[in-house]
Structure 1
Amino acid sequence: MNDKTNFAVIGSGFAGLSAAAYLAKAGYQVDVIEKNATIGGRARQLNTNNGYLFDMGPSWYWMPEVFEKFFADFGYKPSDFYELKQLDPGFSVVFGDDDVMAVPADFNALCQLFESIETGSVAQLKLFLAEAAYKYKTGMDKLVYKPGLSLTEFWDWDLFKGVFKLQVFTAFSKHVRKFFKNPRLIALMEFPVLFLGAMPEDTPALYSLMNYAGLQLGTWYPKGGFGKIIEGMQEVCKAQGVKFFTNTAVTSIKVANNRVSAIVTANDTRAYDGVIAAADYHHVEEKLLEPPFRNYQESYWDKRVMAPSSLIFYLGITRKINRLDHHTLFFDADLKQHAQEIYKEPQWPSKPLFYVCCPSKTDDTVAPAGHENLFILMPLAPGIEDNDDLREKYFNLIMDRLEHFSGVAIRQHLDYKQSYCINDFVADYNSYKGNAYGLANTLMQTANLKPSISNRRIGNLFYAGQLTVPGPGVPPSIISGKVSAQQLIKYSTKNK
């Protein structure tokens, strides 16, 4: 291998950092080019001048073995970079003023909770999770590390034998209702797909693997927030010589002889031997590449089912709020109606579900003593109107319900307030339609049916992140970076 082989990674979120680390480990010189002032993509942090530290995006630490596997590939452990704590309860679900389901970390306690809600449901829960465990193990061992470039990738006897057990062609909603009748248990099982995917009836039952991740593998928290994971991944990159260029927006990708030849930024033009685009896939295609070199036309993107955008509030509160847990989901409204208003009839919701993260319950470094750090998220249809008046209207709607539930006049104790919504996702990440999570996990957007990880017209350009394989979420993004790096290394080795 030529020591001067030089690769660029566009974007420094989880996928970009993962790709850069694996490329550098293989001996290549790697530059990470980031448009924003700080690295981390959606996992950037907001550090206020009055003592609050907010994770701006991801807040659920599920599938811990994916993080362990990443760091182990470079001779590290997560504990070399951050302290991990299992949450107990993992999360709570609010169905009404006096109807709160706290989901315990201990499985026996979880079984007792289910039985107290629906007689006979313990046996059903164990069956459900046994099936979900099979999907999780098969998915993690056999599916998510595949590049999705050919159907021959799935010519695997174990996969073939288990294809029906994976339930790719069964609806998630139908699958859940085979096991449980109580609407609260159904809502508990369906919440991950609402916040990260599509309508439960449009999501393959394969994704019950998410229930296994949340209910059996546990919900965790890295002290100091998700920014600590980003810092750890950046340290891994830097230890291998990766260079970082922030405040550097890419304006175009130059192509010669069906290969990337250079990247143009506002500052300069640099020659590269290969590129991984870990920025927004649609933006890269529509804004950085000339039409002959794009995988997809605009009409293709317009037909994709996007996962939700979000209205987010970062709030500093000058007192404690006792009734909140680290993760609290407010399902005191109709889940089906809110999902309908995200996916079927896109509009601002009439009575939204929302989620509150209060990391100061677990971590005394994210807020001043005696204060609370609140991250509030309301799932929202991508691509709809976003303005300050709408944000304020929904802030007060959410606050009315949160103050009623908590018994605390939160608005009277505000020490910090900032909103984040569709327009910000577009401005900061060039996010297609302002989406927060990427593509919805529908049957027609699974595995090889996702946008290709490989540019079909440019041999040394590959994509990574939530709009390609394996899909949305932090662990899949880390995996996506590794898979795209492997493809670029394979191409470079073959064509050196």
Structure 2
Amino acid sequence: MKTTIAIIGSGFSSLSAACYLAKQGFGVEIFEKNSTTGGRARQLIKQGFTFDIGPSWYWMPDIFEKFFNDFGKTVSNYYELDKLSPAYKIFFHDEQITIGDTMDKICDEFERIETGSSKPLRKFIKRAQEHYDIAINKVVLRPGLSPFELVTPETVTRVDQFFKTISSEVRKNFKNPKLISTLEFPVLFLGAKPNKTPSFYSFMNFADFGLGTWHPKGGMYEIIKAMTALATELGVKININSNVEKIIVKDKKAAGIVVNKEEKYFDVVLSGADYHHTETLLDETHRQYSEKYWSKKTFAPSSLLFYIGFDKKLNNIEHHNLFFDTDFEQHAIDIYDTPKWPDNPLFYANFPSVTDKSMAPEDCETGFFLIPIAPGLEDTEALRNQYFDIIINRFETLTKQKVKNNIIFRDAFCVNDFIEQYNSYKGNAYGMANTLLQTAFLRPKLISKKVEHLFFTGQLTVPGPGVPPSLISGKLVSELITKQFKNN
């Protein structure tokens, strides 16, 4: 008899785990509460416009390639990948920085802003590349069960990099505030302030400048389609519109789930849903972490998102655009230190139709705007409208064009939606931050300490937030399950 495994949720980590477990011969079944697979990586198609509702940055292409290689496939079997040139543009109040698709172009841009800055930049990125090699090939491939997993010949010689911060390293080498913001920006993907993130995580800077920014033709949802197709090919059964209401525990072992009020029994339960939410599916005596535990953790931001169809092509924009024309540090304080709606928010705007004509009707533009905000904030229609006005006015000023009268439609997504659609703790968008005290073995565990045969995966556990780490998280938990059940 095959060991049977129920997987809650169908995001990147769940699909990754499902593929690896099916390859090992387990009977795998996914239960997704929404009407499509992908978890937070969903797609909106409206009036001919295509939007990635969730992740929109394709970094670390090597991780995606390794995933498909593990099944005898390549990325190109499923979707077409283009390297963006330029990678992205950053708007400051008085000028713009364009990040090119090679280190030489980026160094030239740094020199334009601050003479002599290319030399420390090359040194900084070389060290970031060393960190990347260690992180991706050693540290993140460990399941976070013990502090000794961080002890390798490579990390021992870099132990100081876990106690210094990204901010201190950047500011030691660069003085221009615009270059500092440019180099501190990538760690926002890790969900923490640069002055709280260990400098070892500068490997994100290598992911940015060294490996570049890519785009799957048709959008990020093409990856979900690919992983869903692979999982199905491997024999995974996928159930949509299937809301898991309870995890069944018998004799301190996970024995199944209640789905749409129906009991279903399995040998193993694996949740890729929000970790906090998953534990609410258990009786209190079976939960590992208290509400007090979660309330003290540093969570990555939530977001206010706008999906907009424009009836014309826009000027002076790239595929990815960052608007840093206000105080970077103050916005971070408004997210992490004294959580509140920011007075002058930074924001991000994504126009995939700049490089991918399939994502908008002819002579139109697909626009996705994002404001990072603290999780758990009040979310009302009035606040959404207020902040849309703030950012669209600044967008018009900085890009020197009028666009308000060219909006065909505008959809918004915020804290309440993250909670309602993804059961997200306080409506967070990216999981738990990778601060020093929330790294590796200090994150919530892949294996339940209270309930046998219950496992977790995703961005609240190891390795952490982001799409590539989620793929790795699925692989890590599949290895733990395989080790325990393969020979039973």
With normalisation by structure 2, the TM-score equals 0.98
Mapped pair 1:74 → 2:75? no
In 1, Cα distance between equivalents of 2:442 and 2:228 = 31
User: What letter corresponds to residue 285 of structure 2 in structure 1?
Assistant: P
In 2, Cα distance between equivalents of 1:159 and 1:440 = 21
Residue of 308, 311, 327 corresponding to 1:315:
308
User: What letter corresponds to residue 143 of structure 1 in structure 2?
Assistant: V
Q: What is aligned with 2:120? A: 124
In 2, Cα distance between equivalents of 1:21 and 1:301 = 30
Q: What is aligned with 2:327? A: 334
Q: What is aligned with 1:147? A: 143
Residue of 445, 460, 468 corresponding to 1:467:
460
Report the count of equivalent residues. Answer: 488
- Deviations along 1:365-390, whole A, 9 cap, x unmatched? 11100000000000000001001000
Q: Which deviates more, 253-262 or 402-411?
A: 402-411
Match of 2:486, SS state, is helix
Residue 118 of structure 1: how far off its partner (Å): 1.4
Q: What is aligned with 2:32? A: 34
Residue of 196, 199, 224 corresponding to 2:193:
199
User: What letter corresponds to residue 175 of structure 1 in structure 2?
Assistant: E
Q: What is aligned with 2:176? A: 182
Query: Which ranges in structure 2 are unaligned for 5 or more consecutive residues?
Result: none
Give aligned-pair identity as a percent: 48
Q: What is aligned with 1:453? A: 446
CA contact 1:460–1:492 (8 Å) conserved in 2: no
Match of 1:346, SS state, is coil
Match of 1:213, SS state, is helix
Matches within 5 A, 1:106-255: 106-164=102-160, 167-255=161-249
Mapped pair 1:426 → 2:416? no
Q: What is aligned with 1:47? A: 45
In 1, Cα distance between equivalents of 2:126 and 2:429 = 31
In 1, Cα distance between equivalents of 2:92 and 2:201 = 24
Mapped pair 1:65 → 2:62? yes
In 2, Cα distance between equivalents of 1:226 and 1:268 = 33
In 2, Cα distance between equivalents of 1:53 and 1:114 = 34
In 1, Cα distance between equivalents of 2:386 and 2:24 = 51
Mapped pair 1:410 → 2:388? no
- Deviations along 1:435-481, whole A, 9 cap, x unmatched? 00011111110111111111012221111001000000000001001
Match of 2:341, SS state, is coil
User: What letter corresponds to residue 407 of structure 1 in structure 2?
Assistant: K
Q: What is aligned with 1:444? A: 437
CA contact 1:197–1:203 (8 Å) conserved in 2: no
Q: What is aligned with 1:343? A: 336
Residue 155 of structure 1: how far off its partner (Å): 4.3
Cα 1:435/1:192, change in 2 over 3 Å: same
CA contact 1:459–1:491 (8 Å) conserved in 2: no
- Deviations along 1:325-361, whole A, 9 cap, x unmatched? 0000000000011000000010000000000000000
Q: What is aligned with 1:5? A: 3
User: What letter corresponds to residue 31 of structure 1 in structure 2?
Assistant: E
CA contact 2:103–2:210 (8 Å) conserved in 1: yes
Residue of 73, 85, 89 corresponding to 1:88:
85
- Deviations along 1:409-459, whole A, 9 cap, x unmatched? 222011121000000000000000000001111111011111111101222
Q: Which deviates more, 115-124 or 467-476?
A: 115-124
In 1, Cα distance between equivalents of 2:144 and 2:377 = 31
Q: Which deviates more, 170-179 or 422-431?
A: 170-179
Mapped pair 1:372 → 2:390? no
User: What letter corresponds to residue 70 of structure 2 in structure 1?
Assistant: D
- Deviations along 1:20-58, whole A, 9 cap, x unmatched? 00000000110000000111011100011x101100010
Residue of 287, 291, 298 corresponding to 1:298:
291
With normalisation by structure 1, the TM-score equals 0.97
Q: Which deviates more, 66-75 or 263-272?
A: 263-272
- Deviations along 1:153-205, whole A, 9 cap, x unmatched? 334333333433xx011021111011111111100011122354212111111
In 2, Cα distance between equivalents of 1:152 and 1:128 = 27
CA contact 2:132–2:206 (8 Å) conserved in 1: yes
Q: Runs ≥4 in structure 1, deviation > 4 angstroms?
A: none
User: What letter corresponds to residue 43 of structure 2 in structure 1?
Assistant: Q
Query: Which ranges in structure 1 are unaligned for 5 or more consecutive residues?
Result: none
In 2, Cα distance between equivalents of 1:171 and 1:32 = 39
Match of 1:313, SS state, is strand
